[in-house]
Amino acid sequence: MSKIKILTNGLVKENPVFVLLLGMCPTLGTTSSAINGLGMGLATAFVLMCSNFVVSLVKNIIPDKVRIPAFIVIIATFVTIVQFCMQAYLPSLYDSLGLFIPLIVVNCVVLGRAESFAAKNSPVDSIFDGLGMGLGFALALTILGGVREFLGTGRIFDIAIYPESYGALVFVLAPGAFIALGYLIAVINKLKAKN
Amino acid sequence: MEYIMIFIAAVFVNNVILSQFLGICPFLGVSKKVDTALGMGAAVAFVMTIATIVTFLMQKYLLEPFGLTFMQTITFILVIASLVQMVEIILKKVSPPLYQALGVFLPLITTNCAILGVAIIVHQKDLSLLNSVIYAISTAIGFALAMVLFAGIREQLSLTKLPKAMEGTPIALLTAGLLALAFMGFAGIA
Amino acid sequence: MAKLESSFKNMVLVLTAITCIAAAALAGVYELTKEPINQSNLAKQINAIKAVCPPFDNDPMADKIESKLPDGSIITIYPAKEGGKFVGAAVETYTMKGFSGYIKLMVGFNADGSINNYAVLQHAETPGLGSKMQEWFSNTDKPSQSIIGKNPGVNKLTVSKDGGEVDAITAATISSRAFLDAVQRGYDAVKDQLKQ
Residue C41 to residue A81, Cβ atoms within 8 A: no
SS (HEC) of A133-167: HHHHHHHHHHHHHHHHHHHHHCEECCEECCCHHHC
Strand bridging mode A159-160 / C65-68: unpaired
As a dihedral over the C-alpha atoms of residue A156, residue A161, residue A164, residue A168, rounded to 10 degrees, the angle is -70
Q: How far away is chain C from the Cα of A89, in angstroms, using its nearest Cα?
A: 7
| Domain contains C6 | no
ipTM: 0.85
Is there a contact between A174 and B180 if contact means CB atoms under 8 Å apart?
yes
Which phi-psi region, left, alpha or beta, contains residue A21 (left: φ > 0; alpha: ψ -120 to 50)? left
- Chains touching C (3+ CB pairs < 8 Å): A, B
Q: What is the DSSP letter of C95?
A: E
Strand order in C74-82's β-sheet?
A: C65-68, C74-82, C85-98, C101-110, C115-122
CB–CB contact B70 C30 (8 Å): yes
Q: Classify residue C21: in a domain, yes or no.
A: no
**Would C158 be classed as within a structural domain?**
yes
Q: Are B115 and B44 in contact (CB under 8 A)?
A: yes
Per-residue pLDDT tens digits for C83-132: 878 888 888 888 888 777 788 889 988 888 888 888 888 887 777 677 78
Which DSSP letter does residue C146 get? Answer: -
Yes or no, beta carbons of B181 and A111 under 8 Å apart = no
Task: Tell whether B19 lies on the interface with A, counting CB pairs under 8 A.
Answer: yes
CB C59 within 8 A of CB C134: no
Confidence at C54, pLDDT banded by 50, 70, 90 = confident
Chain A neighbors of C36, CB-CB under 8 A? 88-89
Query: What's the CA gap between C134 and C142, in Å, rounded?
Result: 14
Q: Is C122 within the bounds of a domain? A: yes
A24 falls within a domain: yes
Say if CB A51 and CB A106 are below 8 A apart.
Answer: no
Residue B114 to residue B43: CA distance in whole angstroms: 13
Tell me whether residue C43 is in a domain. Answer: no
For the segment B180-185, the average pLDDT, to the nearest whole number, is 87
User: Closest partner residue to B81 among A29, A69, A175, by Cβ?
Assistant: A69
Q: Which of A125-129, A132-136, C143-147 has the lowest mean pLDDT?
A: C143-147
Strand partners, C65: C77
Rounded Cα distance, B180 and A183, in Å: 16
Query: H-type helices in chain B, by residue range?
Result: 2-8, 24-29, 34-58, 72-94, 96-102, 106-109, 113-124, 129-157, 169-184
- Residues B26 and B16: their CA atoms lie apart, in Å, by 12
- Range(s) of the domain holding residue C69: 51-194
Residue A172 forms part of a structural domain = no
User: Are B179 and B145 contacting, i.e. CB atoms less than 8 angstroms apart?
Assistant: no
Residue A177 lies in a domain: no
Confidence of residue A134 (pLDDT cuts 50, 70, 90): very high
> Considering the domain boundaries, does residue A145 fall inside one?
no
Closest chain A CA to residue B108: A108
How many Å is the Cα radius of gyration of chain A?
17
Residue of A nearest to B177 (CA): A175
pTM: 0.84
Cα B135 to Cα B130: distance, rounded to the nearest angstrom: 9
Find the chain C residues whose C-beta atoms sit closer than 8 A to any C-beta of B. Answer: 19, 22-23, 26-27, 29-30, 99-100, 126, 174
Residue type at position B99 = Y
Tally of domains within chain A: 1
Strand partners, C77: C65, C91
A50 in a domain, yes or no? yes
**Percent of chain C at pLDDT exceeding 90:** 1
Number of domains in chain C: 1
Q: Under DSSP, is residue B145 helix (H, G, I), strand (E, B) or coil?
A: helix
Cβ-nearest to A105 among B71, B77, B181: B77
C22 contact residues in B (CB cutoff 8 A): 74
Report whether pLDDT(A90) > 70: yes
Inside any domain, residue A149: no
Chain A residue closest to C31 (CA)?
Answer: A84
Residue C30 in domain:
no
Q: A: neighbours with 3+ CB pairs under 8 Å?
A: B, C
Domain extent for A35: 3-138
Is position A180 within any domain?
Answer: no
Span A27-83, pLDDT tens digits:
888 888 899 899 999 999 999 999 999 999 988 888 888 888 889 899 999 999 999
Is residue A153, in this structure, part of any structural domain at all? Answer: no
